[in-house]
Chain A
């Protein structure tokens, strides 16, 4: 995908000062390209260190290939960069050991995370991988809120977790791979997982 056609993350042009700001280009594992401001990148410790180490100039950013993020897909990366752009310039929370960690989910974040469980799982994974502390906090809080007031059976459905019986059945099936019936059980379980997407735990 060319730079011109890249899905540029929403940026408030009016808010950009007159002096030239640096925008980095990143590419997801499915070859989608994003332009992200330098300030937004600071929310991610991993990316911030990476661009610092690369020492790109404005010309380098345009002339050299986009920085590849191999293990995050475009859909997830778009959410990540949208979050970073919205929260650019904000202080990065430091874990001061306060108990309990009080995390409020802002309205923007709540709307951003109004997504299916599979994508939310990928978002958490990406926030962890890119070391975006506050995004990880709010997304984990969202998952924690999903458990509020639920029974174990409901939690299994919410988090797409197998019960102990299903777990044991899967293990038996693995052990008795030659047994056609056991294989059926395993296939049935795998099918359920496929339908449900990723599980949280």
Chain B
């Protein structure tokens, strides 16, 4: 059989079949290992455990073809799988690290470093802080979304290691979305995150200059607004979370959502509950959510409300809370519709000294 035809067959085989074909004989194994072909693998999740790697694989139709699960894989097994996908483009690549299995992460880094080309994936999810072990070996042109979360979110806040080095990577600079788990504290300049369309993270401290810069970015975003400020808000099964009609925050009239042309800006306060503060926000759309330990107060002024006005509200809140409580300020500006869908979703902490 000519090699091109062999490749044609391999490309049409499911990844499970290719892995089985490798075990048929030496010559086929050599061919599969040396060949450059595309697989149907779409999603790989690697969990580093004490006894090796647990790997979960899916192709684009997992509801039909099922999910492949392998446990206690050696680094050689993993090498075969990752080599197989180096010509394919994954939707998602996840790595869950284990603080007790540092060697496993080193092995994975070694495998990725020795790949002939960077792994192509649109989403990268990292469970753990050692992002630099994996992120540099992903294709920066393909990577769009980065998710980082701690391995254990029951502990107190942890520092995200080497964030400065991560921020220098092309992968970081080219990505459009960043989500850093709430229990990671990020110590970095807020302005270095402005290129993202959407950011979720918890900054340790921000300077006034950074906040002013953020305000400028937010205002620029507002200029790009289109008819609907809500497009892009999607819930499970792609169902829109936005009602067809809603009450305008200012006029209180029921208006069709499509005709609304304002940007939603949310300011969130995380701290102890202050029931007496409720009357302070009569004109604001308020909602309360119970978090793990704190109470979240969500305020939704219109885009016409200046950032500085919101800061005034923050001063009131800060004035009423004790020194030790931190404040999380959330700005969510969204302009949707047409070809524009620009969002900035930034969580950051304001030290009390800045505003009180």
Contacts and interface: CB of A to CB of B under 8 A. Distances in A.
A80 to B, nearest CB: 15
Nearest to B4: A128
B12 A144 contact: yes
A101 interface: yes
Interface stretch (A25-33, A51-59, A110-118, A134-142): A134-142
A125 B40 contact: no
Given A144-B12, A147-B21, A152-B20, A164 B1 contact: no
Interface of B: 1-2, 4-6, 8-14, 16-17, 20-21, 23-28, 31, 38-40, 59-60, 88-89
A143 B12 CA distance: 9
4 shortest A-B CB distances, which residue pairs? A144-B12, A100-B40, A147-B17, A152-B23
Given A151-B20, A159-B24, A201-B27, A136 B38 contact: no
B112 to A, nearest CB: 20
Nearest to B7: A140
B21 A100 contact: no
A195 B307 CA distance: 82
Contacts of B59: 100
Given A141-B12, A144-B13, A128 B2 contact: yes
A5 interface: no
Given A99-B88, A148-B17, A201 B12 contact: no
Interface of A: 99-101, 103, 121, 124-125, 128, 136-137, 140-141, 143-144, 147-152, 155-156, 159, 161-164, 167, 200-201
Nearest to B15: A100
B21 A136 contact: no
A163 B24 CA distance: 7
Contact of B9 (A143, A155, A156): A143
B5 A161 contact: no
Contacts of A128: 2, 4-5
Contact of B26 (A125, A149, A156, A164): A164
B6 A201 contact: yes
Given A147-B20, A162-B25, 16 more contacts: A99-B88, A100-B11, A100-B12, A100-B39, A101-B11, A103-B12, A121-B1, A124-B5, A136-B8, A137-B8, A140-B5, A152-B21, A159-B24, A167-B25, A167-B26, A201-B24
Contacts of A143: 9, 12
B11 A125 contact: no
B17 A124 contact: no
B38 A99 contact: yes
B4 A100 contact: no
B20 A150 contact: yes
A134 to B, nearest CB: 12
A120 B40 CA distance: 24
Contacts of A162: 25
A125 B24 contact: no
A12 B28 CA distance: 44
Nearest to B59: A100
A155 B5 contact: no
14 contacts: A99-B40, A101-B11, A101-B38, A103-B12, A124-B1, A136-B8, A144-B9, A147-B13, A147-B17, A148-B14, A151-B20, A161-B28, A162-B25, A200-B1
A30 to B, nearest CB: 22
B20 A155 contact: yes
Most chain A Cβ neighbours within 10 Å, of B12, B14, B26: B12
A161 B27 CA distance: 10
B89 A156 contact: no
Most chain B Cβ neighbours within 10 Å, of A103, A124, A156, A201: A201
Given A136-B8, A201-B6, A163 B20 contact: no
A150 B13 CA distance: 12
Contacts of B1: 121, 124-125, 200-201
Given A99-B89, A201-B31, A156 B39 contact: no
B24 A155 contact: yes
Contacts of B40: 99-100
A164 B17 CA distance: 19
Contacts of A101: 11-12, 38
Nearest to B26: A164
